[in-house]
Amino acid sequence: MRLKLVLICSSIAAIVGAGAAAAIILSVFSSLKPVTRPGLLVVLTYLLPFTAILLASIFVYRHTARRRKLQAILTATLSILLTILIFIVASIVSARRAPINPETPRDVSSNWKCLEAGTAGSMSLLETAGGARL
């Protein structure tokens, strides 16, 4: 059995497939609004790991003399596990540490403090708030 071939092909398939999918997801879908209706591009990003795993399994199947089916299945299984591991690591690394807070409103309390203290003088409430005199 060619374990080196199985391990090398599995790791290359997982790195290429999951790496390309994670790169596309992080670069294209990195906006703040979430994807509510996934389109064709979202589905196609998950075809990349599947295609890489399929090609690696076919490659191992064609380049071994004995126990072909076993080595191809072993390659596919190991590639799937490594792909899931890469997706988990990519989601942990790319996660936001602190949530993005919305913009705080401007401070209008200084106008009200000024009115309460009586330092506004003869100005009306509308003038202090920026309105016109009636």
Lowest mean pLDDT among 5-19, 71-85, 93-107, 116-130: 116-130
From CA 88, how far away is CA 102, in angstroms rounded?
Answer: 28
- pLDDT at position 134 is 47
Longest Cα–Cα distance of the chain, Å, equals 99
Residue 18 vs residue 123, higher pLDDT: 18
Give tens-digit pLDDT for 80-118. Answer: 999 999 999 988 888 777 666 667 666 666 666 666 666
Greatest mean pLDDT range, 26-40, 66-80, 96-110: 66-80
> Could you state, in order of their start, the residue ranges of all structural domains in the chain?
3-93, 107-134
Tell me which residue of 48, 118, 102 sits closest to 79, measured CA to CA: 48
Q: What is the pTM of this model?
A: 0.66
| Long-range own/partner contacts, residues 29-38 (CB < 8 A, 24 or more apart) | 32/100
